[in-house]
Structure 1
Amino acid sequence: MPFALLKYATRSAFKGDHAAERHFRLSPDLKPTYDVVIIGAGGHGLAAAYYLATRHGITNIAVLDKGWLAGGNTARNTTIVRANYLTPEGVAFYKESVDLFRSLSNELDINVMYTERGHFTLAHTDAAMNTARWRAEVNKHMGVSSEVIGPDDVKRICPTINVSDDVHYPIMGALYHPPGAIARHDAMAWGYAKEAARHGVEIHTQTGVNRILIENGRAVGVETNRGTIHAGRVLQAVAGSSSVVANMAGLKLPIRTIPLQACVSEPVKPILDQIVVSGSLHVYISQSARGEMVMGGATDAYGLYSTRSTLDFKESLMAHMLELFPFMGELKVLRQWAGMADMTPDFSPVMGLTPIENFFIDAGWGTWGFKATPVSGLRMAECVATGRQPDLLKPFALDRFGSFDLVGEKGAASVGH
């Protein structure tokens, strides 16, 4: 239980005081110089600021965002957390993130509603079953709980799913990952933000960056719509706008930005406790704490800087979803949205050092950025504070694309979750 709930209960019971403390100062002015400027006030940027302050004692930090706090992809994801990836590098990375998630509510003194549900990756073909076995062996070797199970066990653990053969794509089995979980994306972002602010970090929304200032191959600051700021080090963590911001520093990233759509149903009583994903059908679903069925699929087929939603996506998603869960035929879609996914060729992130001294990058998150928030913040903070690439981030360095030393995660990340 987060300590904030106990404090609230104590205040309410003995003082009758229900008001929460103010977490942020109102419209602080920009200072001319900061030790670190972080571009992007989403989960990753806020987490990096928090860990810089708490783990490395660096508090003279400005977090800048052209919009609102956590109003980009952090507000547009579907909150799934897991570590059952395909490569040893990917599994080690996300395993650390899951470990951090488990204690996040107490560390940030806010209820992030982290709940372990169990995560199924369904297999409908022999090839998908072979990939499931491959992933299970890598996971076990890396100390992550995953196993391949058959249709009967899928039905036993998730009674609401349809395992009949009388469908277009019968379920042959699944990779079952018991630690698979969901969490509240907004609570996590606000938790990092308030704790970073409590340690002296400044968060400036409605502050767009127009130019990265480079002198003699070094980043020395940023030019914003509110003036110029000098900085010892600059970190960009801007999700779908990664290529645009990196271009301001003269970097060309191996990234393609594509819309990723999702939707939720009207809320119903709890009926689906697990997280269900089908790589072959390109769909995934979980039920939120409010009772909504949270659903999504693969990225759109073409690159586009847009957060619009389409009827084509909804129709194709529902066709498969109703085969897996026929009971959903009576539900109505409550809302639909999209985020901007920055996809790399190997379906893995780009993190750490860049050819520009004192300019750091946290990008290439495609469809798997939320689940990486704690570990990305922790390790990017280490990278910025020390000026060295942490061991956990070495496989995800930008220069891997020049040496063709890629981290092939498409088999575990191609559906989004």
Structure 2
Amino acid sequence: MVFALLKYGFSRRYPERDEIPRTPDLQSHYDVVIIGGGGHGASLAYHLAKHHGITNVAILEKGYLGGGNTARNTTVIRSNYTDQRSIRFYANALRLYESLANELDYNMMYSRRGQLTLSHSDGVSRSLRLRADAGVFCGEANEIVDRQQIRSLVPSLNVDIKGMPILCGLWHPSAAIARHDAVVWGYAIRACERGVELHQRTEVLGMEVSGDRVTRLRTNRGDVSAGTVVQCVAGYSSVVAKMAGLKLPIRSYPLQAMVTHPVKPFLDPMVSSTALHCYVSQSARGELVIGGGSDPYELYNTRSTLELKESLAASALEMFPFIGELKILRQWAGITDMTPDYSPIMGQGPLSNYWLDAGWGTWGFKATPASGFFLAKAISENRIPDEIRPFQLSRFHSFDLVNEMGATAASH
């Protein structure tokens, strides 16, 4: 195997494929400039080009493609939320994910696993039943399962955790995982094939605003103007919006996760515990992916901490005591941009040509196909589709909030 790889690497007959175009020269004007080269930015560019014929588009990414929060999540895809407006939106994303590999002709390593959310108290059991009923009402597969059914779904799970035995669970069979970097690569490759320009290592340093429009963006590679500007920058949403003179109802917190070294497959569903604030899944490579809640303080930093590593390890061991000898391979953090109601901000901002894709908190990866699809439709038609109308910034003035604070056992 080693010699075969060396032979392939040194052979002139098999040159390196250059699917993602090299960064071109920055033009002086684009019809649409997308700030942020993550999953949402690439998805938006692809849908603008494919469905609406808008190809004079530039994606400006200060680092490398998919190197921000897209590269720092735990790849969970689901639609078992609490508010019917959220359920319907994420159900759209889930359906789009199911056919995404075929649409982009790119292997997403999509795998339907199912998600099991555990209850350790009567109060949580009641809230899970409400979530199950809300999902069923919207046509999504959700059900409450008892201890015996939980044992059948996850035989290796410790259902008699000392002091907090598992009472029941919310089973969401359509939940899945996908390869996070493959998603952004697939979207970017197909968008660039249609004429979109991807500008890596291109950081937006400031904006010029005249009246109710952003007239110019200042970058480290020169200035550029645009008919429409869209920000898709995840954890730095408040920082970039401030350049346009906007103050968003967003606070940013680090979100940490870690993986163990690979072991033989034993865990198919994703398992979340409400009391332990921890979730565990097993990747296609056999690693145990372990995550939990956001850090309790605001910080623009992607450092990892020993404190959270110990907390996650302790919680995972309560659920799966036999994993105590596994070694932690790596630990990482992203930056989550949290809104007061734990739901995103999508749509036109106070400026007439400035659009927002922000406030996703820990839900961003799940929404990638749907956010690009519906926001592209909104921009091209200059009309907000019903699917994203509830998530406009104006809801914080009208107090018509989409409360998803209780939509998960941990931040994922």
- For 1:275, the equivalent position in structure 2 comes to 270
Answer whether contact 2:272 2:409 (CA < 8 A) is retained. Answer: no
Answer whether contact 1:49 1:61 (CA < 8 A) is retained. Answer: yes
Alignment of 1:96 with 2:92, yes or no, is yes
Summarize the Cα distance change of 1:17–1:289 in structure 2 as closer, same or farther, 3 Å threshold. farther
Distance 1:59 1:314 in 2: 44
- For 1:8, the equivalent position in structure 2 comes to none
Distance 1:25 1:162 in 2: 49
Superposition pairs for residues 81-120 of structure 1, below 5 Å? Answer: 81-120=77-116
Superposition pairs for residues 132-147 of structure 1, below 5 Å? Answer: 132-147=128-143
Q: Can you list the C-alpha shifts for 1:279-327, whole angstroms capped at 9, x where unaligned?
A: 2221111100111001100000110001001111011111111110011
Superposition pairs for residues 15-414 of structure 1, below 5 Å? Answer: 21-164=17-160, 166-413=161-408
TM-score by length of 2: 0.95
- Runs of 5+ in structure 2 lacking a partner? 1-7
Secondary structure of the residue that 2:21 maps to in structure 1?
coil
Summarize the Cα distance change of 1:413–1:255 in structure 2 as closer, same or farther, 3 Å threshold. farther
Distance 2:274 2:236 in 1: 27
- Write the letter of the residue equivalent to 1:314: K
TM-score by length of 1: 0.94
Summarize the Cα distance change of 1:336–1:389 in structure 2 as closer, same or farther, 3 Å threshold. same
Distance 1:364 1:81 in 2: 18
Answer whether contact 1:212 1:248 (CA < 8 A) is retained. Answer: yes
Answer whether contact 1:221 1:232 (CA < 8 A) is retained. Answer: no
Secondary structure of the residue that 1:121 maps to in structure 2?
strand
| Alpha-carbon distance, 1:20 to partner | 6.6
Aligned residues: 402
- For 1:9, the equivalent position in structure 2 comes to none
| Alpha-carbon distance, 1:368 to partner | 1.1
Answer whether contact 1:32 1:228 (CA < 8 A) is retained. Answer: yes
Distance 2:102 2:57 in 1: 24
Q: Can you list the C-alpha shifts for 1:201-256, whole angstroms capped at 9, x where unaligned?
A: 00001100011222111123311111110100000000000000000011101001
- Runs of 5+ in structure 1 lacking a partner? 1-11
Residue identity (%) = 53
Q: Can you list the C-alpha shifts for 1:3-32, whole angstroms capped at 9, x where unaligned?
A: xxxxxxxxx9xxx97667422332310111
Answer whether contact 1:283 1:320 (CA < 8 A) is retained. Answer: yes
Q: Can you list the C-alpha shifts for 1:157-203, whole angstroms capped at 9, x where unaligned?
A: 11111112x51321111000000110000001100010000001000
Distance 2:28 2:301 in 1: 34
Secondary structure of the residue that 1:162 maps to in structure 2?
coil
